[in-house]
Amino acid sequence: MSYGVKFKLEFDDVAEKQFKLEILKFNYGGTVLDLVGGENPVQIDWQSDDDIYSPIIGSTCKIQLYNTDTTNYDDFYDADEREYQVKISVKISGFFTTIWKGWLVNDTYQEVVQSNPFLIELLAIDGLGILSNYTIPFYTKSSGSDVVENVLPPNAYIQDVLNNLGLELDFYYSNELFQDGSESSNIYFSIFSSTDDDNNVPYGFMKDASEFMNAEELLKQILNFTHSRLFQSFGRWYIINKSAYSEQSIKDDLMDGSFSGASVRAAETTSLQTNGTEDIKFKKVTFAGVSSDVTFDMLYQIPSDLTPLKMDLTKQMLRPLNRATFTNSLQNRQDFLNPNPFLEWSTPRSGVYAGWDLSNSNVTFDTSEPFKTNTSFKWSGSATVTSNTFTLVKQNVGGYYKFKIIYLSLSNPSGAIQYRLSGFNGTQTVYFDESDNTFHQLSVVNNQVETNEFIWVEHEVEIPDITPHSSHTTYTDCKIEIIGTANDYVNVCGVFRDIFNSNQVGLYSTIRADVNQNLFELTRNTGVYSAEYSAEESTLSDFIFVNYSKGDSITSVRRPYDEFLNVSKRLSEIIPRYILNDHRSFIPRYEGTLYNNTAIPLMPSNKVWINFGTSVLQEPVSCYVDALSYNIKANESKVIMHIPNQDNDLGATLKQKFKS
């Protein structure tokens, strides 16, 4: 999208750093108009809750302007969404560098009703809070296959989700997790890397048995599953490890075996004391997709770089933990018979619509009406038995199934949606009869007469085991045929298995999924403490990866410390280990107002070292910034930050438990 600067305000902070506020308008190419700033013209806030492992830190920008006899502002309150973009920049070494971008929110516009001059207050957002309005990204094979292929690494999903926001920012990754022997992979280990057609449906992206996550839910899942935190800083998206965002040279020493210290934390302290820097390595991916490795010194020190103000710098101690738990939900291990059961993909390939064969010309995919998912089947005329057919690639098709339709009629409230469900084993075809919940050899069309005009109707059927028919033989071709009348829409229709099947020595059996949670519980071996922490439950899991990767195993994950010890762990074990290590003793958490003595603003991507000297107060390592309120004009930053503790692993016992 093309945006041009329409309004501009340049101002200095009290430390004489130069800043620029620009308001860009969609498709604007006219004169740049000057703004008149208020007493606090720009304030940027990064907000977080009390959980230091929150995966997303959203940000907002508050703008104060004066309307005067010489200003000429737009009616911002009457603007369309994304009509105005806000960009904040600081001059560094003679050039303006972006520190924040976002979208002007028109429904928060405020102005004082009085004669000129009067104050106007605007609010801009980074958009992270509205990601729930977007669907998750899906990909198909470039070879022309109709099967959905979700095989990209986590960073690709993160980037595609964030690109929904239209800010066109670069991505900076710092996550020390990697596959065995492949440090360069960093965060690029793949959750989904299936290469065969039958397992490419993104099972891990389901939040229940019949609905995909939205973009925000998927983003949180991937961030939590990779122990990552996301925020905007310096006009970039930062995705960093929640516990191990630190000096790269120490990680390099651990990786190549040259680490000579007895303690990782002692080495970090020595590095700070000796160098006064903290160089952090990032995998940079530009908005255009160009990748490179970059390293920056991210350290600020108190009181040399940052001076405490207002006598409000306080220190709180968070309790040590006795136990940390990470839980995988396994209830999403459905085995979809149709790779496109929810009509998420409608791009035709070789004349076939991603798993659905529309053999009747009256039926099309439609995106013109309001519907529950991306697309719907639409009937433009009376239909007979209109087939939407799929052929199974997998063998051993059997077990118990569910079939679900969501449908709507725009003009025929007395009409009916019908379906016919059949299975063919190479010799005979059997048909499901909903009236007696069995399969028969006679063709059966099931009628649904609950159609109400302009109201979505949901119909779900539990289908019995198909395999007892014809002596447990395998069904290699199953078909769903949906029948509707003119102007009917069908949204979610598909068959999915909620019972898992096995076939051993020719004997067919079905196994119910009584286990739906996999808990990784890490308990410390020493110390008497009572506090526990349960990480947010994940629907992504080691199990899903191992069963659908056909090769790579996420059980072979290492941190640099694991590489030094030449050991591998499951990712689901590493996450509670990070948490328990941080909480091995009391965690100092600081809050206060800081004045910046440097030429570069303090951002949430920075680390802050409390260093009043060893005789007064010197923390052994630097702080994570958890929340930040930056009053640009006053050069003041209200900060909340905590100190991690990723020293040598705390002695702890891992138990893997299963719960129903």
**pLDDT per position as a tens digit, 603-653:** 999 999 999 999 999 999 999 999 999 999 999 999 999 999 999 999 999
- Band of residue 99 on the pLDDT scale cut at 50, 70, 90: very high
- Tell me the C-alpha distance between 201 and 648, whole Å: 39
Encode 68-97 in three state secondary structure.
CCCCCCCCHHHCCCCCEEEEEEEEECCEEE
pLDDT, greater one: 162 or 445: 162
- 292-338 confidence digits (pLDDT tens): 999 999 999 999 999 999 899 999 999 999 999 998 876 544 555 56
What is the number of helices (H) and of strands (E) in the chain? 7, 44
Q: Which residue has the higher pLDDT, 397 or 467?
A: 467
- pLDDT for the residue 371: 53
Rounded distance between C-alpha atoms, residue 369 and residue 372, angstroms: 10
Instruction: State the CB neighbour count (10 A cutoff) for residue 341.
Output: 22
- In 3D space, the residue among 315, 482, 330 whose CA is nearest the CA of residue 404 turns out to be 482
Q: Is the pLDDT of residue 268 over 60?
A: yes
Higher pLDDT, 276 or 133: 276
Q: Return the ∠ at Cα 640 (arms to 634 and 646), rounded to 5°.
A: 135
Decide if pLDDT at 656 tops 50: yes
Mean of all residue pLDDT scores within the chain: 79
How long, in residues, is the chain?
Answer: 660
What share of the chain has pLDDT > 70, as a percent? 70
Of the ranges 89-93, 361-365, 373-377, which one carries the lowest mean pLDDT score? Answer: 373-377
Most trustworthy range by pLDDT among 107-111, 225-229, 405-409: 225-229
Give the pLDDT of residue 355: 60
Instruction: Determine contact, residues 80/91, Cβ cutoff 8 Å.
Output: no
Q: In this predicted structure, what is the pLDDT of residue 568? A: 84
Which of 64-73, 211-220, 321-330, 596-605 tops mean pLDDT?
596-605
**What does the block give as tokens for 443?**
């063709």
Q: Is the pLDDT of residue 197 over 70?
A: no
Q: How far apart are CA 329 and CA 310, in angstroms?
A: 47
Say which range, 87-101, 374-388, 635-649, has the weakest mean pLDDT: 374-388
Name the DSSP letter for residue 196. Answer: S
Write down the pLDDT at residue 527.
86
Q: How far apart are CA 63 and CA 57, in angstroms?
A: 20
What pLDDT sits at residue 483? 77
* Res 331: pLDDT: 54
At 544 the pLDDT is: 47
Tokens of 614: 């060893």
> Which residues make beta-bridge pairs with 104?
124
- The percent of residues above 90 in pLDDT, for the chain, comes to 45
| Helix, strand, coil % over all residues of the chain, rounded to 5 | 15, 45, 45
Instruction: Give the number of other Cβ atoms within 10 Å of residue 399's Cβ.
Output: 22
- Between residues 611 and 183, which one has the greater pLDDT? 611
pLDDT at 495: 59
Is residue 409 predicted with pLDDT exceeding 60? yes
Helix (H, G, I), strand (E, B) or coil at 378: strand
Range with lowest mean pLDDT among 4-18, 139-153, 314-328, 341-355 = 139-153
Q: How big is the chain by its Cα radius of gyration, in Å?
A: 29
**Cα(325)–Cα(243) distance, integer angstroms:** 16
pLDDT higher than 50, residue 429: yes
Token pair recorded at residue 286 = 């530009």
Mean per-residue pLDDT, 373-395: 56
pLDDT in tens, 539-583: 777 654 433 333 344 457 889 999 899 888 888 889 999 999 999
Q: Which letter does DSSP use for residue 190 in this model?
A: -
